[in-house]
Structure 1
């Protein structure tokens, strides 16, 4: 199955990108929220994703978009005690036992009438074996009702420009690691799955300094009829709002 993501300056509906693996750190914390940071330290990031129908280019309202990513030190909530400087087996979902019930840097939003979701978070850090990225799952719900039958249409990963990442990872919250970060072109998944098609368009929030944080955006074309091979509907619990 293929999803679709834009490259800045190109028609997003015409640029196809295959799914990327969900990774071993997926979980459903039953959280519908815009601000997923939970006070995590790091450079602020405002993320805007626009979901469009891959066939017509029309906005997709009432689509449930989940994101999750590591903190500035490379740790994922739920697996906070795993050393991010050591590579782990990245097999099926749930292949790595959870260590805690933390929920930082995870959450979902329903797209609005323009197909837009917005998240307040931090610029992700990195962990062994991967470049900097954010995980995304797009779920189609029946009539906008999260209690109705639903399916996962697309699972992907969002990547960051190298110049921006180098600046951020030099900051105090991210520095002092025992390993060096991978560049995108060193990341096996990025190379194999054409990660350049899912690279975020980023600009600083402040005029004079990037330390105030960044605004990132991407348009993602979705085939509503597609069924993800990465995350099954049963992997999600019912959301409570």
Structure 2
């Protein structure tokens, strides 16, 4: 304070401080209006770190884990925020931020794909192959992919391998891609990140199917451009999956139609794709009212990616 700033200035400064403090109390009261469940990081889940060289005040994140693409990816041509298409389930808002892990700056104009099964474990485009559905849990259809190999191979391969290039993966092999069996495209969509690196999707809380924990698939594409047919060109710099805390999945299982499923459920610790690294491995931060989960869930995460790399998830 200078010598010319008298009592009136002090009074005004004190008044402003009181107003700021009051606003903070009001904001805190608004957050605490209902019992909110926060489910996010597990062991090793803290992925945020400060980078003194960033100079922009941005948080820097470790490189988010790369995973298999899975067998149910369809090169999306639907640029949209709401991907529900009237599917039943707990409403979910998914807020994603994409950060260049080298510069610690938001990655703008990147195309972010997401796709996942519905509340009963069914994937659009692959309804006849999906293992979910009410009363599911029996023997899965012959050749139905499960995103990940199971069991330990025994014996030694014999004979002469066939000529030609073998397919990448296969049913149950995680990296093998299956051709769509129908024209449905619900719970799939693509958006471009804004100048702050954000995209937001409206969807439903995913269900589960035999062999996998509850998850959402994602891809991040850079270097392409928007056309009348969708996002074209460039390359895929990240392929990953988002995961859900076990407590949240158990809460969802009390809500219809999830509660009607009898499909055997794989827990987060049993999943063969999730690497148990918390946020770095794709574990979402979830917010919802525990006793009113049916009203909606907000999920969020920041992805650290390297836009100069190519990770399409097909060779894993």
For 1:94 and 1:43, the matched residues in 2 are separated by 30
Q: For 1:100-130, what per-residue CA distance to the aligned partner results, in whole angstroms no more than 9, with x for missing partners?
A: 1100000000001110000000000011100
Number of the residue aligned with 1:99: 181
TM-score (norm 1): 0.84
Counterpart Cα distance in 2 of 1:8 and 1:194: 9
Residue of structure 1 in register with 2:111 after alignment? 64
Unaligned segments of structure 2, at least 5 residues: 1-43, 50-58, 132-136, 146-170
- The alignment status of 1:186 with 2:233, answered yes or no, reads no
| 1:152 matches 2:259 | no
Match of 1:235 in 2: none
Aligned length: 224
| Correspondent of 1:10 among 41, 48, 63 | 48
- 2:260 is paired with a residue whose SS is coil
Secondary structure in structure 2 of the residue aligned to 1:17? coil
Residues 23 and 90 in structure 1, CA contact (< 8 A), matched pair in contact too = no
* Partner-residue secondary structure (3-state), 2:212: coil
Q: Check whether the contact 1:64–1:140 (CA below 8 A) recurs between aligned residues.
A: yes
Q: Would the alpha carbon gap of residues 45 and 148 (structure 1) be closer, same or farther in structure 2, given more than 3 Å must change?
A: closer
Cα distance in structure 2, aligned partners of 1:26 and 1:175 = 27
Structure 1 residues without counterparts, runs of 5 or longer: 1-5, 233-241
How much has 1:45 moved relative to structure 2? 0.4
Deviation readout 1:157-206 (Å, 9 max, x if unpaired): 00011111111022121123332311100111114x746521001101x5
Of the three residues 57, 63, 66, the one matched with 1:19 is: 66
For 2:162, the equivalent position in structure 1 comes to none
Q: Which of residues 202, 210, 215 is equivalent to 2:293?
A: 210
- Find out whether 1:162 has 2:209 as its counterpart: no
CA distance in 1, matches of 2:226, 2:240: 23
Task: Determine if contact 2:112/2:190 at 8 Å carries over to the other structure.
Answer: yes
Q: Does 1:116 align with 2:116?
A: no
- CA offset at residue 209 of structure 1? 2.1
CA distance in 1, matches of 2:122, 2:202: 18
Larger Rg: 2
Matched position secondary structure for 2:97: strand
Query: In 1, Cα distance between the equivalents of 2:278 and 2:245?
Result: 11
Find the counterpart in structure 1 of residue 4 from structure 2. Answer: none
Cα 1:28–1:161 shift into 2, 3 Å: same
Note if contact 1:45-1:213 (Cα within 8 Å) is conserved in structure 2: yes
Q: Structure 2 vs 1, CA of residues 181 and 212 (structure 1 numbering), >3 Å: closer, same or farther?
A: same
Q: Distance in 2 between matches of 1:34 and 1:14?
A: 25
Is the Cα contact below 8 Å between 2:114 and 2:188 reproduced in 1? yes
Report the CA distance between 1:148 and its aligned residue.
6.3
The alignment's TM-score, normalised by the length of structure 2, stands at 0.65
Q: Is the 8 A contact 1:34 1:109 kept in 2?
A: yes
Secondary structure in structure 2 of the residue aligned to 1:209: helix
**Residues 148, 184 of structure 1: CA spacing in aligned structure 2 closer, same or farther, 3 A cutoff?**
closer
1:227 aligns with 2:265: no
